[in-house]
Chain A
């Protein structure tokens, strides 16, 4: 299971990459393994404003459907349109080409939201417990 050290994580298996006031979001390697082959990804429209922990999208695999939650409050400024034709990128490259959306966040106003994210070490230990 890959857990890059430079990313932040949620307990619901999203990853977050901080790029200034923009955050890129995807699902973790652990999440994609648990889901199995992804066949369909539903993402929000551009400019949608999402509250932290509200539904961001849907990832459907062959066997199950899983809701993805916004790790931070923010406005959708990019969605990964490649996933419409090639949803398996989520399996093949969950931290790279399989990213889902980019959100513009107000880190000054919502600074406290960052505290709810966990680092790679904590994510790793939590997910190890879940797989064992």
Chain B
């Protein structure tokens, strides 16, 4: 009996994601709808922010036909970003792993494949082309109607056009995908609300399948400083990345290679490291063997003489913007935000920001909102490191907030690499350094809340005391006047004014 020989074939990245779409959050019609919206909105926000433009992102979702969910929906997202050069436009949306996000700086998406995944998912569930329009100069607009050639990972252009842009610059994407809005609705609306919280300088609007429009207006006029691109830090370098650096490097010596290509590594530190690890500083990098590269990578990881990565590649919101975002979306009585100083794990810099909101329209109980690189994380809350911190590592009684206080905790982790536990980017691993920073930030914010509440209660107490005195002292004055047979009541006002201090007789 002859056995069929196993076929070894290379598959394209498009093919790979087509076969493993659940990895990217396209598991079912409800989740896929949410993920598609999210990926496109995040692309738009990243694009506008990278050009220092305050984002305006308008999203609409219309059902096709009037069947029951799941059914085809037309999803359209328009932004006011810098637009995409017409030459790159088809590839930017029609090819997996084509993008501008391969450098090391904080951005929502890592590889720019989310938008393409959404298009891919639309295509495989409805077999409909995607429409993309973009203008970079506000004068001319270029449009494409296209499909993705999954097998060859390339766009298949069906139609192209150009017309006047009428002053608009940005990108417009319209695709048809199978979705279940009935199920996704709650998460979608929550996504917009939390995104607005994380980007208080942006305008976001969402028109739902019934034509109702939810608008999130900007609350502030400023944007956080943009992140700067940085070189990789030696602690965050793996063997493959090191190999690529060596291959692309023009430097002739190992010493020069290190101090020219690594973050926070100068000639002195590079020399110290090389002597400490026993590598020849004058060695030509291109002559290193595979084994030597592996040993070098390990040595770079283990050497503790490097300076920690700096945070210029990060773009935290800052306490002021975070407070503004939380206040506008949660309409709370009190909010305070804590931005921790930059820290690093495994060579990746990160900053933790935490806001604590109290009272106002908040419901009783502690709610957690998780943001990572300004992306709301809505799924798998209880697996997240922030959940672990607030449920296990905070001694709530210490802050004297009463039973079941109306509190929301908003955590924001910024990093060039968020340690997500899954490809779906929904929850952050309990990395000890991040956990520590979260814990400190939450504690500091709760301390401030506690301080606010005790000040408030002592003010209220003083006011209440004063009110009670105002009520009774006039009566006492009057009765004493009558009893003493005097013609006018005694002046009790100085008692009310000076209340709180009892003089001894």
Decide if A and B are genuine partners. Answer: no
